[in-house]
Amino acid sequence: MKRDELQSIDEILQGKVEKVQHRKEWRHFLAECIVTVVSVYVIFQYVIGIAFVSGSSMEPTLKDRELVVFYRLDETYQRDDLVILRMPGDVEYIKRIVAEPGETVEFSEDGKLLVNGREQTPEEAMGVTAALSEDIAYPYTVPEGSYFVLGDNRENSRDSRSFGAVKQGQIAGRVFLHMGMTR
């Protein structure tokens, strides 16, 4: 074979090798993209969630249209946790836990929240706290596996005063981050 023919064959082989390498790089890139998309899906479907505040029931802590990020894998909650609730009709609420299972909730005549007979004066609460529903008798003992939740804007909130304690299974997660963003 002549030198020119060998050089031509070498160039052809080099081109084929580059194509194969390019295909491998492309497949590797595609596999990385698929793994990333699946990972992000799994994280946002099963580990953390995102919600937007709608309304003023959590003011002054959370404002209308703020973005909140919540952790879905909690199994226990405590007083002062901000939680996402899943209510019938696929309605979601963001509320604050004010009483845990076995605790007693009542309201004083001057609009104060009492838990186990002790006045609760959270800094984040706004407005007078009063019983809203005649269907709930006070003092009210929170059933096992349930939590009593209130909005921080006590005069403008649909919460446990209206619908009673929420079961742990209705809690979608605990809010761990909120940002003043607009949609």
d(CA 114, CA 146): 18
User: Do 95 and 68 contact (CB within 8 A), yes or no?
Assistant: no
The pLDDT tens digits of the residues spanning 113-134 come to 999 999 987 778 888 777 777 7
Residue 22 has pLDDT above 80, yes or no: no
Please check the confidence at residue 105 and state whether its pLDDT lies above 80: yes
119 with 139: CB under 8 angstroms? no
So which residues are the catalytic ones? 57, 95
Quickly count: other Cβ atoms within 10 Å of residue 8's Cβ: 12
Q: Please provide the distance, in angstroms rounded to a whole number, between the alpha carbons at the two ends of the chain.
A: 70
For residue 160, pLDDT beyond 60: yes
pLDDT tens-digit series, residues 47-104: 999 999 999 999 999 999 999 999 999 888 999 999 999 998 989 999 999 999 999 9
pTM (predicted TM-score): 0.80
- If pLDDT is split at 50, 70 and 90, which confidence band does 183 have? very low
